Amino acid sequence: MTRGRGLLMICAALAAGPVRAEDPAIATFAEETEAAGFAHSFTGEWEFMVGGGTAVFDCSGDGRPDVFAAGGTAPGQMFRNDSETGGALRLTPVESGLEQEAVSGAYPIDIDGDGVIDVALLRVGPDRLMRGLGECRFEDASAAWGFDGLDLWSTAFAATWEAGQDWPTLAVGTYIDRAQEAFPWGNCTPNHLYRPAGGGGFAAPLPLEPGFCALSILFTDWDRQGTPDLRVSNDREYYKGGQEQLWRIEPGQPPVAFTEADGWQRLRIWGMGIAQEDITFDGFPEFYLTSMADNKLQTLAEVPAEGAPKPRYRDVALKAGVTAHRPYTGDDLRPSTAWHAQFGDVNNDGLSDLFVVKGNVWEMPDFAQADPNNLLLQRADGTFLESGDRAGVASMRQGRGGALADLNMDGWLDMVVINRNEPAQVWRNMGADAGADAGRWVQVALEMPGPNRQAVGAWIEVKLADGLVQQREVTIGGGHVGGVLGWHHFGLGTAETTEVRVRWPDGTVGPWQALAADAFWTLAPGAEPVRRE
């Protein structure tokens, strides 16, 4: 693979200071929380100081992403998306079977491959796998699927389909041994890997030890070798002898942690969230790791001409302008606390932007109490422009989870934020004023036969107007205790058409297929794209 222009630009910036390309158009958002009927709070004290995830996926079968919000000590809540296309947001609370307490987060995943999305509920207590029944109804299938949810404080989730398997492999990250009241430090509980059992369901959980209090995990094919490994971001507040982790997950083999001998470099942060995107256009993903004060943007230190890279990363957050280390608006200049992070092209200019949810842990006086969420717009030179205040999304509430998803199906990514002990919020993206021909987009859903219906592990490649190719891995995991499953959104700038191809999880590469902009398309192996009418 060759290096893309983004990395070259960042390298130039590292050498000579940031170069300011033309600032991107600012997408503006309108908060429609109340009008949409999105009434929900994630509540709780110490055991819910982390958590507050949201799962965004279509549970009703109408193709529109619905929203589930974890509730902590309050019941979780499912909201059916009744928004009109291009219209105001409308989220209707519905009885779903997910109204469970002690839920810290949730991820959508079609576990049993029946085409109906299921939900993994992460809890302070035994986790549960909830089978989707259609019409936004769910039932607890944990026992039926042989899933031992364990009685731990679960705070992270990821899933992949290992080669040759009909069922997914799940990874659950856990936090502190909550029985250790006076001396919890050094008492991180293990993470666990749930591999398929022969004949369906899951085998007994396999401990991933040592655990270092994970707050985000992600299966990622970081080295593009075709087999995802497990990236784990850990909270240094609680571990001893710990660090960030990367586990090699080879089919049929026990997990093995990457070490310094493999090139893995020790990094110790208050890891809280992982976002992945190839923002340098070299085919290898960058990782944004949220923390307290400075956040990290990691890019591979070296990509060899041949063979796999080593997992050595450089932090380019400072030069890219995404340290997001303190509030950028308001009077509170104490350091920030960042949680959920997600890349997405909110202004449809063809460059992925970065959304970060912020909020004080719990009255920590050395950190900002009024800590606005970030919406960092990528410039053409690979640096980012903070736009949260001008975009209208600079909420000062105690944010935790979040999501970017096109709720009203107008091609512009809307925003959901779950706050702790304060009402959750939703914003409608009103678009960006970049000219009449700009702001085009395409959204793609993958559909595979067999168990891995949503093609988790595939790479979607989209040609952009300037000859670059955006490559994005289909993943389940990362963020902060919540994720989005469904349409994959790509901004196209002024392009009226684009070409898209898919590297499917089994390694086969589909053809480049022309797609008209401003439309939703379903892609399947060996088939013509199907446009959603």
Partner 1 sequence: MKIFKGVYVALAVVACLGGAPALAGPAQDDRSEVLANWYRMILELVRHTPTQTPPVASRSFAYTAIIAYEATASGAPELQTLAGQLVWLDPLPVREAGVDYADDVVLNAAMARAVDVYFANTGPTGQRAKAALYKQLEGKVGAGVAADVLARSAAYGTAVADHVIAASEDDGGAVIENMGFPMTHTLGGEPQDWVPTNLIRLQQAPLLPAWGTNRPMVLPSGEACPLPPPPAYSEEPGSEFHAQAMEVYETSRALTDEQKRIARFWSDDPMLSPTPPGHWVAILFQIAARDQRPVEAQVDALVRLGIAVSDGFIVNWRDKYRYDLLRPITYIRRVIDPAWEPLLNTPPFPEYPSGHSTQSGAVAQVLTAVFGEGFAFTDSTHVDDGLAPRDFPDFWTAAREAGISRLYGGIHFRAAIDLGLEQGACVGDFVNGLKTWK
Residues of this chain that interact with partner 1 (CB under 8 A) are 46, 49, 176, 179-187, 236-238, 240-241, 268, 292-294, 315-319, 323, 325-326, 333-335, 361-367
CA angle 426, 427, 432 (to 5 degrees): 160
For residue 437, give the DSSP letter: T
Q: Which is nearer to partner 1, 293 or 515 (CB)?
A: 293
Distance (Å, rounded) from C-alpha 430 to C-alpha 432?
7
Q: Which is nearer to partner 1, 330 or 335 (CB)?
A: 335
Distance (Å, rounded) from C-alpha 67 to C-alpha 253?
36
Q: Which two tokens stand for residue 224?
A: 């593009």
Helix (H, G, I), strand (E, B) or coil at 182: coil
CB of 453 to partner 1, least distance (A): 41
CB of 325 to partner 1, least distance (A): 5
Contact 147, 161 (CB under 8 A): no
Q: Which is nearer to partner 1, 22 or 366 (CB)?
A: 366
CB of 293 to partner 1, least distance (A): 5
CB of 178 to partner 1, least distance (A): 11
Residue 155's nearest CA partner among 274, 246, 36, 253 is 274
Residue 350's nearest CA partner among 490, 460, 512, 520 is 490
Q: Which is nearer to partner 1, 322 or 416 (CB)?
A: 322
Residue 114's nearest CA partner among 137, 131, 89, 95 is 131
Residues contacting 42, CB < 8 A, separation 6+: 48, 51, 52, 69, 70, 71, 72, 74, 400, 401, 418, 419, 420, 421, 424
Q: Which is nearer to partner 1, 176 or 272 (CB)?
A: 176
Q: What is each CA distance from 24 to 20, 283, 393, in whole angstroms?
A: 11, 23, 17
Helix (H, G, I), strand (E, B) or coil at 33: helix
Q: Which is nearer to partner 1, 35 or 318 (CB)?
A: 318
CB of 235 to partner 1, least distance (A): 10
CB of 47 to partner 1, least distance (A): 10
CB of 236 to partner 1, least distance (A): 7
Phi, psi for 175 (deg, rounded to 5): -115, -120
CB of 8 to partner 1, least distance (A): 19
Measured between its terminal Cα atoms, the distance across the chain in Å is 37
409 CB neighbour count, 10 Å cutoff: 21
Q: Which is nearer to partner 1, 270 or 504 (CB)?
A: 270
For residue 9, give the DSSP letter: H
CB of 292 to partner 1, least distance (A): 7
Q: Which is nearer to partner 1, 181 or 306 (CB)?
A: 181
Q: Which is nearer to partner 1, 49 or 158 (CB)?
A: 49
- Torsion angle, CA of 470/475/478/483, rounded to 10 degrees? 100
CB of 316 to partner 1, least distance (A): 8
261 CB neighbour count, 10 Å cutoff: 6
Q: Which is nearer to partner 1, 286 or 461 (CB)?
A: 286
